[in-house]
């Protein structure tokens, strides 16, 4: 069965500093990979996705992520965080076969921004 | 498109009562998913449909939970009877492939 691990439950970063959120997945083939963001009391917003091709993908709000097959990782990065980036971030994986079987989510990383 | 629509946005009920959550998927999407989010368990897939047919309900926690999709534009998730441990945020999502589009969620509180 596929699984997603986000090893950091909480991360605190100073405003303006760089950010990297870690994500590792367990899946036998190349997966579809996603990062979602959830602000308090809100729904899930897609930041970016990887299906195939260039392993460095750009998303909204200045975020990017890099797929590394050898490390089974899909880490999320941002060069300079803003106070509005404080939220919960979820990594998710889907089967790369035909159709849609739903996403498997990591437990999430809570991002705190220090002024 | 209005996106995935869920109602109600908030529901407070007493233990033992029946609760019905509703979802309208994005027009043209042939997959519909129900997820539950709790602090302890995170985001869990409860059930999903393809072309209105339930495909996998292995995530449904108990027989108290049931889901239906009578047509392509409407689905319900019902809990009967409800219990305090059912308190969570329930998300509906729809898709045509691996990327899911989520609704705003229904926050359920069972007292």
pLDDT of residue A29: 74
Is the Cβ pair B45, A103 closer than 8 Å? yes
pLDDT of residue A96: 59
Interval A86-96 mean pLDDT: 90
Is the Cβ pair A51, B98 closer than 8 Å? yes
3 state DSSP class of A7: coil
Residue B1: band (very low, low, confident or very high) from pLDDT cuts 50, 70, 90: low
Among candidate residues B87, B96, B110, the one with its CA nearest the CA of residue B33: B96
Residues 36-75 of B with CB under 8 A from A: 42-43, 45, 48, 50, 55-56
Output the average pLDDT for chain B: 95
pLDDT of residue A99: 53
Q: What is the pLDDT of residues A25-39, one digit of tens each?
A: 987 677 899 999 999
Output helix, strand, coil percentages for chain B, rounded to the nearest 5: 5, 55, 40
CA gyration radius, chain B: 13
- Give chain B's end-to-end CA distance (angstroms, integer): 36
Q: What is the pLDDT of residues B7-57, one digit of tens each?
A: 999 999 999 999 999 999 999 999 999 999 999 999 999 999 999 999 999
pLDDT of residue B2: 82
B94 HSE (CA, 13 A, CB side):
23
Q: Does A107 touch chain B (CB under 8 A)?
A: yes
A75-89, A92-106, B73-87, B90-104, range with the lowest pLDDT: A92-106
pLDDT at B4 over 80: yes
Structure-token pair, residue B18: 């029946």
């Amino acid at each position: 069965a596929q699984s997603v691990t986000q090893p950091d439950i909480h991360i605190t970063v100073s405003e303006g500093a760089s950010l990297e959120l870690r994500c590792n997945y367990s899946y036998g083939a190349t997966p579809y990979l996603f990062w979602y963001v959830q602000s308090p009391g809100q729904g899930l917003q897609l930041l970016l996705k990887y299906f195939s091709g260039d392993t460095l993908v750009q998303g909204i709000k200045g975020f990017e992520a890099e797929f590394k097959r050898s490390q089974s990782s899909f880490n999320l990065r941002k060069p300079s965080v803003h106070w509005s980036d404080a939220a919960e971030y979820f990594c998710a994986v889907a089967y790369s076969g035909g159709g849609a079987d739903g996403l498997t989510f990591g437990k999430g990383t809570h991002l705190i921004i220090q002024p | 498109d209005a996106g995935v629509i869920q109602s109600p946005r908030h529901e407070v009920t007493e233990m033992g009562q029946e609760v019905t959550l509703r979802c309208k998927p994005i027009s043209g999407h042939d997959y519909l998913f129900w997820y539950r989010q709790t602090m302890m368990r995170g985001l869990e897939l409860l059930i999903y449909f393809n072309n209105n047919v339930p495909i996998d309900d292995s995530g449904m926690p108990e027989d108290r939970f049931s889901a239906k999709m009578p047509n392509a534009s409407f689905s319900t998730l019902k809990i009967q009877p409800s219990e305090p441990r059912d308190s969570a945020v329930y998300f509906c999502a729809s898709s045509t492939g691996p990327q899911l589009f989520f609704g705003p969620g229904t926050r359920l509180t069972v007292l």
